Structure 1
Amino acid sequence: MSAASIESISEFLLHAGTNFRVLDLGRGLDELDTQTFLEIEGAQMPAPKPRQQHAWFAIVFWNTQAATQHYIWFLKLPLDERGLVVSASRNHFLQIIIDALGSSLADDTENAQTLPDNPYSFVPPQRLMAQTNAKIKQMLSLPASSGFDLAKNYIQAPGVQDWQQIPVQGIADLAYQLDGELGDTVADRFSALAPAFRDALMESCEVVPVSESLFRAFESVLYTPDGLNLSALRGLALPVRDTRVCSVIDDVLQYDGLDIDTLSVLAARHFTQLDAQRIKLFFEQAARVDEVTRMQGALFQGFFADLVQVPALRSQVLGVLRDDARSSRLSSAIGALFSQTQQVK
């Protein structure tokens, strides 16, 4: 196998004798069909959920002749100003893996799990790693981790099972099992669960649509005497526009204690709820926090650069630039944005 004969990561994996599935990790955890991934990596369509000017993927693969062991590549590819994968970077990654592995992937899959040092692989944080593993198990009908039983036992008998013995992976696996009776049990006993366990479970649910009863349970702990519970805000995330979530976001955007972390959660997990009006208010708040924290425009510019690359939001984000009714604070932030852009050029 040579670099000249292989034109995509998808083609490499197929020629190397593997089956594979792809997850988009940009703003959630979404499976991509093989054709969509091929078009994204080939710069034929923009990355649907980019983050920090990159497309983020988890590629799980296994030997077609021995499907008992699965391996994952975590991969981030830089995007151009149109949100398209930079082809030169994708080709560079291809060259790296072909030089290192040749055509031996199917025969030596375990060694293929560890790629040579390269600028495109990344190690996800513990929570995202656990969420990805849980999603893959669901996709491929694999058994949950042993920690799942510990988490389930704790839910059913909080006074018996020690929640501190439950691993993060067990809680992530639990999040994918809450669409039935177990979810109702969690909602009914939510107030009896340890706050730290509740937070970990809500964070795991940020990539899983939850039932109405769980939604209300999470919402009940959103506001605390110490401020917003960002774990609850994460847990309320949904992949599509939802009137319940929109109502929550409207309240949060008016919250006096809005800070960088809250804005980050809104941008990363609730972007699907951001219509033109909410985007404008989001940037108003970003400009305010930027002033308060004396970040000299860096916070506002970072959020703008991030959200303008999301295809579903691009027109609304650009619309903020043309809005004559914006505040003087927002106008100043936009002026600084243009000034910074010209300096970079």
Structure 2
Amino acid sequence: MRTLSDFFNQSQADLAISSLGRRVAPISAETFAAFEREEQPWPLPWTGKAQFACAMRWPESGADPLIWFLALPLDEQGQLLPAPRDALLDRLLKTLETRPGVAGDNLMKDNPVAFEPELHQRAVLHARLSRRFEQPLGAQADLARRYLLGDDAINWQMLGLQGLANQVVGADAAIERALVDRLEQLPRDVILPLCYLLEHGDTPSSLVPGLQLMLDEARQQQDLERYCALLRALVGSDDASVGAWLDAWLEDDELMAADCLAAVAARGWQFLEHETRLIRYLERLATCEEANFRSVVRDLALIPRLRLPILMSLRQAPGDSAIGRRLGQLPDH
């Protein structure tokens, strides 16, 4: 047994692997196995790591899935650094030798590659796994559904994050229509968590125009927290119209806050797979003094489809350009 994929195959568990970090998204067993064989980089790197959840369920046990949250370090090309994975596998095998059938909390306790996802990511993950493993959604989901559909008997303070997540990831036509009609009227304390849930790829195209209008309102009110949350939800959509919106956004001198630029890199990287938009983004990042240019660019360059375009953009940047000046300020550039 040389890889985690080997263990998963031998365990005969029903397996679901999900990326965590840049986006909560399913990862196929084939993609994960190729990553472990160092045949391809991790598709959605985050802060130099492959962060993911492995959910395993043995149908005959009747129990809830066992979930591991793991973060494996990557090299500069986004490929697996095998030593931490090998140490994890060795620990797993030793655990199973001493306590057969036990590979959960005991394995993850004080494990250097284990991590705790942030609350919104965990909520999105559990909502998706509930559907994947056909588990009941619970009373919180029903409460959130009734609220979003306009039930005046439900106060927003009664809502739980998991209940909202269960509705956001459900691709329910009635909920989508309700969000389109009611999002702008929802309390700020509901809009913010909704945006943080939507940003992982669950923003429907029908919601894009409304989010753009709400961004204008948040800007007028100078509410940066709300603005960034709405921006993250907007770029969490894969709708092509968002790219055109970003082109105009990148030309607006008054909108360039470091948090906003970081949000585009974190949740809207797919829109940077565009030659002129990528260069313009890098220029704006370079001119934002508060932005950590090196950190953001290094993290983006680990994304397989962005690595070569970013490297070429940096190499071809004139020395007197904003990008060239930023590079000149960096050690070991």
Q: Same fold (TM over 0.5)?
A: yes
Alignment of 1:65-76 (within 5 A): 65-76=60-71
State the 1:325 CA deviation. 5.3
Matched, 1:153 2:146: yes
Contact 2:215 2:230 (8 Å CA) reproduced = yes
Which amino acid in the other structure matches residue 76 of structure 2?
Answer: E
- Quote the residue 1:333 is aligned against: 326
Take 2:280 and 2:297, find their aligned partners in 1: how far apart are those partners?
A: 13
1:205 aligned residue:
198
The 5 A counterparts of 1:8-23 are 8-23=3-18
DSSP-derived class of the 1:69 partner: coil
Q: State whether structure 2 residue 119 is matched by structure 1 residue 126.
A: yes
TM-score if structure 2 supplies the norm length?
0.90
Structure 1 stretch 141-150 or stretch 263-272: which is displaced more? Answer: 141-150
Residue type matched to 2:267 in 1?
Answer: R
Distance 2:91 2:15 in 1: 19
1:163-189 per-position Cα deviation (integer Å, ceiling 9, x unaligned): 111111111111023441221122112
Counterpart amino acid of residue 250 in structure 2: L
Q: Following TM superposition, by how much is the alpha carbon of 1:129 offset from its aligned partner in structure 2, in angstroms?
A: 0.8
Secondary structure in 1 matching 2:199: helix
Q: Note the C-alpha offset of 1:104.
A: 5.0
Partner of 1:284: 283
More off after superposition, 180-189 vs 117-126: 180-189
* Counterpart among 239, 242, 245 of residue 245 in structure 1: 242
- The more displaced of 196-205 and 11-20 is 11-20
Q: 1:59-98 CA distances to partner (integer Å, 9 max, x unpaired)? A: 0012242243112111111111221100112101111222
Q: Distance in 2 between matches of 1:109 and 1:116?
A: 11
TM-score, structure 1 as length reference: 0.87
- Classify the secondary structure of the residue corresponding to 2:298: helix
Residue 108 (structure 2) pairs with residue 115 (structure 1): yes
Residue correspondences, number: 326
Is the aligned partner of 1:192 residue 2:185?
A: yes
Q: Percent identity?
A: 26
Match for 1:226: what amino acid? Answer: Q
Greater Cα offset, 215-224 or 84-93: 215-224
Is the Cα–Cα contact under 8 Å of residues 95 and 103 in structure 2 kept in the other structure? no
Partner of 2:297: 304
Q: 1:226 aligns with which of 211, 222, 225?
A: 222
Structure 1 stretch displaced more, 165-174 or 62-71 = 62-71
Match of 2:96 in 1: 101
CA 1:57–1:239 in 2, change beyond 3 Å: closer, same or farther?
farther
Change (3 A) 1:144 1:103: farther
Q: 1:226: Cα distance to partner?
A: 1.2
Asked if 1:263 corresponds to 2:261, the answer is: yes
User: Does the 8 Å contact 1:158/1:192 carry over to 2?
Assistant: no
**Which secondary structure does the structure 2 equivalent of 1:160 belong to?**
coil
Query: What does the per-residue CA deviation read over 1:216-270, in whole Å, with 9 as the maximum and x for residues that have no partner?
Result: 2222211312155112112123464x43110222233234232221122101110
| Matched-pair contact (CA < 8 Å) for 1:15–1:103 | no
| Closer/same/farther in 2, CA of residues 327 and 232 from structure 1, 3 Å limit | farther
**CA offsets 1:5-33 (integer angstroms, 9 cap, x no match):** x1111222333453211011242122122
- TM-superposed CA distance for 1:285, in Å, is 2.0
Pick aligned residue for 1:53 from 39, 48, 51:
48
Q: CA deviation at 1:46?
A: 0.5
Larger helix percent? 2
Contact 1:19/1:64 (<8 A) preserved = yes
CA RMSD of superposed structures (Å): 2.2
Pick closer, same or farther for the CA change 1:188–1:178 going to 2, 3 Å. farther
For structure 2, the residue ranges without an aligned partner over 5 or more in a row are: none
